[in-house]
């Protein structure tokens, strides 16, 4: 039952954001840029009584993944600007995200930084 409540609340937020984006694309993009999934995840983890340390590690993971996510969105934007079909643009974005994370992890390893 609890999982169903999480799914319904999360889906409602996504539905509202996409409706705003449909009417006002720039504002919808700005709202979507909010870390909604991260905030919802932190809320759900807190409600499920996860430890503060666990939530801190989750938040650190979000911070580490942020540069790759920004790069992915940039690739998708540029691909669509170049008239590449949305499916391929998203595919390129996902591949660029994975490559970026791999490079980021390799660079962190060179400097003995744990990711």
Q: What is the pLDDT of residues 28-77, one digit of tens each?
A: 888 887 788 889 889 989 999 999 999 999 999 999 999 999 999 999 99
Cβ neighbours, 10 Å, residue 16: 12
Closest CA to 105 of 75, 65, 71: 65
Count CB neighbours of 15 within 10 A. 10
Any residues with CB less than 8 A from the CB of 76 and at least 6 apart, and which?
Answer: 89, 90, 92, 93
Residue 3 in contact with residue 47, Cβ under 8 Å?
Answer: no
pLDDT beyond 80 at 1: no
In the chain, % helix, strand, coil (3-state, to 5) comes to 85, 0, 15
Tokens describing residue 64: 């580490």
More confident residue, 114 or 60: 60
């Amino acid at each position: 039952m609890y999982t169903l409540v999480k799914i319904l609340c999360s889906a409602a937020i996504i539905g509202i954001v996409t409706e705003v984006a449909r009417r006002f694309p720039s504002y919808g993009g700005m709202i979507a840029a909010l870390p909604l999934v991260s905030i919802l995840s932190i809320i759900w983890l807190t409600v499920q009584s996860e430890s503060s340390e666990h939530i801190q590690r989750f938040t650190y993971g979000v911070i580490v993944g942020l540069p790759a996510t920004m790069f992915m969105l940039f690739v998708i934007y540029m691909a669509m600007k170049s008239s590449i079909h949305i499916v391929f643009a998203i595919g390129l974005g996902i591949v660029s995200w994975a490559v970026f994370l791999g490079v980021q992890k390799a660079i962190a390893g060179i400097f003995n930084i744990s990711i």
